[in-house]
Amino acid sequence: MSRVVKSAAFILALFFGSLVYGQVAPVARAPAIHPAQTVVARNGLVVAQEERAARIGIEFLDRGGNAVDAAVAVGFAMAVTYPRAGNIGGGGFMVIHLARDNRDLAIDYRETAPAAASETMFLDAQGNADPEKSRDSALSVGVPGTVAGLALAHAKYGSGKFTLAELIAPAIDLAEKGFQVEDDLADSLPQARERLKRWPATTAIFFNGDQPMQEGERLIQLDLADTLRAIAKNGPDAFYRGRTAVQIAGAVVKAGGIMSKDDLANYRPIERAVVRGSYRGYDIISAPPPSSGGVHLIEMLNILEGYDLARLGREESLHDMIEAMKRAYADRAVFMGDPDSVKIPVDGLTSKAYAKSLRANIGPRSTPAADIRPGTAAEFGGRNTTHFSVIDRDGNAVSNTYTLNFSYGLGLVAEGTGVLLNNELDDFTSKPGTANAYGLVGYNANLPGPGKRPLSSMTPTIVMKDGKPFLITGSPGGSRIISAVLQVIVNAIDFKMPIGQAVSAPRLHQQWQPEDVYVEPGFAPDVLEALEKRGHKIVATPPHTSTNSIEVTEEGYVGAADRRTRGSLAAGF
Ligand code: DON
């Protein structure tokens, strides 16, 4: 086992706030996975990474709001209470199932590149990809989409019982009165210290002296309260036009970026058709491009449908999953980008026939990455995004994942606004054949360009059975998001695990490049050894994902808050 338990480089650079490569961590020292917190409810359920926000969502459901109202309120609240990933300075994807019309849709509120962006913007003088530019400089800031996305969701799909201002009110209150730093906020602030301390406007909010705020201290965000109040009063225009837009563009330019106030004024959330697939009689509804999540989730499920995973047993089924991941992530590298700039063969990639052809060359041994497609080396994953799931008494469901990319994004607060800005543009491919921070190799389809949206892995998903939601799930974790969602679904459908168990079970991840299969603590050593004998390169990692999920059962809605991170909550009534 000793070979198995050595990790070459897994301390998550982004997660720990500074770039720390090459650390070795034995499995024995990796944190154990805490079992999910579960709750059963009849009328409504919110599962989110932060307790106050989850309770705010429940409050709106209890007052007669629908799942979209609750999701919008949670989205704004988490911009205050979970600043490492909850945001109004970033973007994401919301997948909605509307029970009454039996309709599904996705809201793409992914960030866009500014108009001055170019294909070469992240290259150094020698023409090589420069991670400093794409991850750590203000060039990495995309035009934020969250405010427009949440406002669109409310305006078109809210119950109509609440104004946007009412849904934002609890967030304003929390920003203004403050709240105690605890749980993941207390854990993540010190880890992000180095990135945050570069910006005086950021340390003024999140630091006490020269140290990040600590557990038990009170975090007050007065500028953010003002920005939220303006949005509550005047709608998204208060963010995308006028003073706030000038402040955001000004802060980006001052820090060396290229955003203009016109970029903000031109931002539009896009309503898109969901990506659809099926798996063993269930319907899969997930995020469309510019996220790769839905396409590759369905591609992997299609491959796996050809195997009787439950009968094959743990090791063989894990092998098949790893091989499916490898092939899907290789396709991701080549085909995926912004659908408004490149043609993506979504139908082909999600077809059963294509999956069959991929399955045909999966054998009993690990297929080397080079035998699938050419590429280069890779790095890490992370938990700097956040996913929440909501269902209401009528069976409307929302699956929402949003992010600033790294923990606290770029770390830069636009002065006077309280808004933490993302560094999402690292999700572009800086140069064909190079990898982003999550080790995801890309080619021409995902090069940066004016107004383009960088390719995402966010995979907010709703699994339907007989036209009704069965499972609502999604995750943070960079490249690991898609495989995490895959495993929750396979655990629930193939292995018939109740949702708490499906969420808690250890996960593994393979992304074509590198060869490594990343495994969380908790896998049986003999299973890992058997996988190694098949040629898989097993690398131990701590958890990087968090799948806050809901299952609809005969007993009611069951929520499972993933406890890989402190502070998550499944709240129901
Ligand atoms: O959109 C994406 O795929 C990434 N920017 C998500 C980043 C992420 O999940 C970070 N940490 N967990």
Coil vs helix vs strand at 547? coil
The string of pLDDT tens digits covering residues 389-429 is 999 999 999 999 999 999 999 999 999 999 999 999 999 99
Using the atom order of ligand 1, give the atom closest to the CA of residue 480.
Answer: 9
Mean pLDDT over each residue of the chain, to the nearest integer: 92
**How far, in Å, is the centroid of ligand 1 from the Cα of 491?**
23
- Burial track 487-515 (b if 16+ CB lie within 10 A, e otherwise): bbbbbbbbeebebbbbbbbebbbbbbbbb
Question: Token digits for 61?
Answer: 């459901």
Q: Name the residue at shortest CA distance from atom 8 of ligand 1.
A: 478
> CB within 8 A of 397, min separation 6: which ones?
67, 96, 97, 99, 389, 390, 391, 462, 469, 472, 550
Question: Token digits for 401?
Answer: 């994942």
Q: How confident is the model at residue 20 (pLDDT cuts 50, 70, 90)?
A: very low
Assess whether the C-beta atom of 384 lies below 6 angstroms from ligand 1.
yes
DSSP string computed for 413-432: EETTTTEEPP-GGGGS-SST
The amino acid at residue 208 is N
Using the atom order of ligand 1, give the atom closest to the CA of residue 424.
Answer: 5
Using DSSP bridges, classify how beta strands 207-208 and 211-212 pair: parallel, antiparallel or unpaired: antiparallel
Instruction: Please check the confidence at residue 47 and state whether its pLDDT lies above 50.
Output: yes
Using the atom order of ligand 1, give the atom closest to the CA of residue 92.
Answer: 1
Q: Name the residue at shortest CA distance from atom 1 of ligand 1.
A: 456
**How far, in Å, is the centroid of ligand 1 from the Cα of 43?**
31
Assess whether the C-beta atom of 382 lies below 6 angstroms from ligand 1.
yes
Ligand 1 pocket: which of 134, 329, 385 to mutate (most atoms within 8 A of CB): 385
Ligand 1 pocket: which of 112, 422, 457 to mutate (most atoms within 8 A of CB): 457
385 bridge partner residues: 403
**How far, in Å, is the centroid of ligand 1 from the Cα of 560?**
21
Instruction: Please check the confidence at residue 85 and state whether its pLDDT lies above 80.
Output: yes
State how far the Cα of 555 lies from the Cα of 41, in Å rounded to an integer. 8
Sign of the Cα pseudo-torsion (150, 151, 156, 160, in order) = positive
Angle, alpha carbons 222-223-227 (nearest 5°): 120
**Residues classed as catalytic:** 385
State how far the Cα of 323 lies from the Cα of 511, in Å rounded to an integer. 10
Question: Token digits for 12?
Answer: 């998550």
**How far, in Å, is the centroid of ligand 1 from the Cα of 159?**
30
Using the atom order of ligand 1, give the atom closest to the CA of residue 383.
Answer: 12
**Cα–Cα separations (whole angstroms), residue 331 to 85, 485, 560:** 28, 18, 31
Q: How confident is the model at residue 7 (pLDDT cuts 50, 70, 90)?
A: very low
Query: What percentage of the chain exceeds 90 in pLDDT?
Result: 91
Higher pLDDT, 21 or 352: 352
The amino acid at residue 170 is P
Residue range 72-76: average pLDDT? 99
Q: Which single residue is written with the structure tokens 């919110």?
A: 46
Assess whether the C-beta atom of 426 lies below 6 angstroms from ligand 1.
no
Residues 359/442, Cβ–Cβ less than 8 Å: no
pLDDT score of 9? 30
Using the atom order of ligand 1, give the atom closest to the CA of residue 406.
Answer: 10
Assess whether the C-beta atom of 424 lies below 6 angstroms from ligand 1.
yes
Rounded to the nearest 5 percent, the helix, strand and coil shares of the chain are 35, 20, 45
Q: How confident is the model at residue 384 (pLDDT cuts 50, 70, 90)?
A: confident
Assess whether the C-beta atom of 457 lies below 6 angstroms from ligand 1.
yes
108 bridge partner residues: 93, 270
Residue ranges in 272-389 assigned as alpha helix (H): 293-305, 309-312, 314-335, 346-349, 352-359
Assess whether the C-beta atom of 142 lies below 6 angstroms from ligand 1.
no
**Number of neighbours of residue 311 by Cβ within 10 angstroms:** 9
The string of pLDDT tens digits covering residues 171-221 is 999 999 999 999 999 999 999 999 999 999 999 999 999 999 999 999 999
Assess whether the C-beta atom of 184 lies below 6 angstroms from ligand 1.
no
Instruction: Please check the confidence at residue 22 and state whether its pLDDT lies above 60.
Output: no
pLDDT score of 30? 55
The string of pLDDT tens digits covering residues 248-262 is 999 999 999 999 999
Assess whether the C-beta atom of 482 lies below 6 angstroms from ligand 1.
no
Residues 290/338, Cβ–Cβ less than 8 Å: yes
Peptide bond into 31 cis (omega under 30): no
Q: Which single residue is written with the structure tokens 């799930």?
A: 473
**How far, in Å, is the centroid of ligand 1 from the Cα of 386?**
9
Higher pLDDT, 12 or 193: 193
Q: How confident is the model at residue 273 (pLDDT cuts 50, 70, 90)?
A: very high
pLDDT score of 202? 98
Residues 525/313, Cβ–Cβ less than 8 Å: no
Using DSSP bridges, classify how beta strands 413-414 and 397-403 pair: parallel, antiparallel or unpaired: unpaired
Query: What percentage of the chain exceeds 70 in pLDDT?
Result: 93
Helix axes 146-157, 164-177, angle to 10 degrees: 140
State how far the Cα of 256 lies from the Cα of 258, in Å rounded to an integer. 7
**How far, in Å, is the centroid of ligand 1 from the Cα of 437?**
9
Residues 506/520, Cβ–Cβ less than 8 Å: yes
**How far, in Å, is the centroid of ligand 1 from the Cα of 481?**
8
Question: Token digits for 404?
Answer: 């600033």
Assess whether the C-beta atom of 478 lies below 6 angstroms from ligand 1.
yes
pLDDT score of 383? 59
Q: How confident is the model at residue 297 (pLDDT cuts 50, 70, 90)?
A: very high
Q: Name the residue at shortest CA distance from atom 2 of ligand 1.
A: 456
The number of C-alpha atoms within 13 Å of 554 and in the hemisphere containing its C-beta is: 0
- Burial track 447-464 (b if 16+ CB lie within 10 A, e otherwise): bbbebbbbbbbbbbbbbb
**How far, in Å, is the centroid of ligand 1 from the Cα of 383?**
8
**How far, in Å, is the centroid of ligand 1 from the Cα of 477?**
6
Dihedrals φ, ψ of 380, to 5°? -125, 180
Assess whether the C-beta atom of 87 lies below 6 angstroms from ligand 1.
no
Using the atom order of ligand 1, give the atom closest to the CA of residue 454.
Answer: 1
Task: State the first-to-last Cα distance of the chain, in angstroms, to the nearest integer.
Answer: 46
Q: Which of 387, 361, 378, 376 lies closest to 484 in space, CA to CA? A: 387
Using DSSP bridges, classify how beta strands 468-473 and 103-109 pair: parallel, antiparallel or unpaired: unpaired
The string of pLDDT tens digits covering residues 315-374 is 999 999 999 999 999 999 999 999 999 999 999 999 999 999 999 999 999 999 989 863
**Number of neighbours of residue 558 by Cβ within 10 angstroms:** 21
pLDDT score of 32? 78
The string of pLDDT tens digits covering residues 357-370 is 999 999 999 999 98
Instruction: Please check the confidence at residue 19 and state whether its pLDDT lies above 70.
Output: no
Assess whether the C-beta atom of 541 lies below 6 angstroms from ligand 1.
no
